[in-house]
Amino acid sequence: MKNKETCPVIFPEDLREALRKMNTYVDITEEDLKKIYELALQHAEERVASRVPVKDVMTKKVVFVKSDAELHEAALLLSENGISGMPVLNDDNHVVGVISEADILTLAGMKKGHTFKDVLRNILGGPVSAGTGGNKVENVMSFPPITSKADDNIADVAKVLDEKKIKRLPVVDAEGSLIGIISRADIVRAVSRKP
C-alpha cells in the first residue's frame, strides 16, 4: 500500500471514469463512491498505524548459548536469568536452535510435554534415563528454530507463539544472525501502551 504522501488525490472525473470502466450498472452516486473511498482510505491508514513492528518492542540484550556449550552452562544461564528458554548460536552467531527448560529436563528422564507431577515424581526418585546422546547443547536443543524478522508485525508473531505454544522467538537479520528476541511479555507490554 502506498503511504499518504504518495497517494494521488481522487477527483470527480476519476470516479466517473472508474464507474465507466466497470462496464456494469452500479446504483451509487459519485458522492457516495467518494465517501466510500475516503472511509476505506481512513481505515487503511488506521490499520497501518496500528501495525507494530517487532523491532519496536523486542528485547535487544539477549541471553544465548553456543551450540557446543555444556548443558550445565545452559541450565545455569536459564536459572540465573530467570528465563525458560534461549536461542542457540553457532560459531558464526547464526541462530541454529532454541534450548528450554523442557529440553534440559529430557535428560532427567522427562519426555517433552511432561507435567509438573511428572517432574516431582522424577525428583522424588523416579527413573532417570541414560541420556540423549551427549551433554552438549546441540544434542538437546529444539531445531530448526522458529524465528522472526525485525519488520514482522507483532500481531503475526503473537499468532505463531499461540499456534506453536511457545513463549518467545529469536529475531534474526537477513543472514540469520541474532539481533533480539520477542516474547509474549514484550507483546503484552506493547499492547498495554497503545492508546
Bridge partners of 98, per DSSP, are: 87, 142
Quote the CA–CA distance of 120 and 112 in Å, as a whole number. Answer: 15
CB burial string 146-182: b at 16+ within 10 A, e below: bbbebebebeebbeebeeeebebbbbbeeebebbbbb
**C-alpha cell read off for 178:** 541474532
Range of 27-41, 65-79, 180-194 with top mean pLDDT: 65-79
User: Which of 146, 168, 143 lies closest to 78, judged by CA?
Assistant: 168
Rounded to 5 degrees, what are φ and ψ at 193? -85, -15
Complete domains list, the chain, with CATH: 4-49 (no CATH), 55-193 (3.10.580.10)
CB burial string 2-34: b at 16+ within 10 A, e below: eeeeeeeeeeeeebeeebeeeeeeeeeeeeebe
Rg of the chain (C-alpha set) = 25
Check pLDDT > 60 for residue 133.
Answer: no
Taking the whole predicted model, whether its pTM rises above 0.85 is answered as no
Check pLDDT > 70 for residue 106.
Answer: yes
- 3-state percent helix, strand, coil for the chain, nearest multiple of 5: 45, 15, 40
pLDDT confidence bin for 50, thresholds 50/70/90? low
CB–CB of 24/125 below 8 Å? no
Check pLDDT > 50 for residue 132.
Answer: no
- Mean local confidence (pLDDT), 87-93: 95
pLDDT confidence bin for 195, thresholds 50/70/90? low
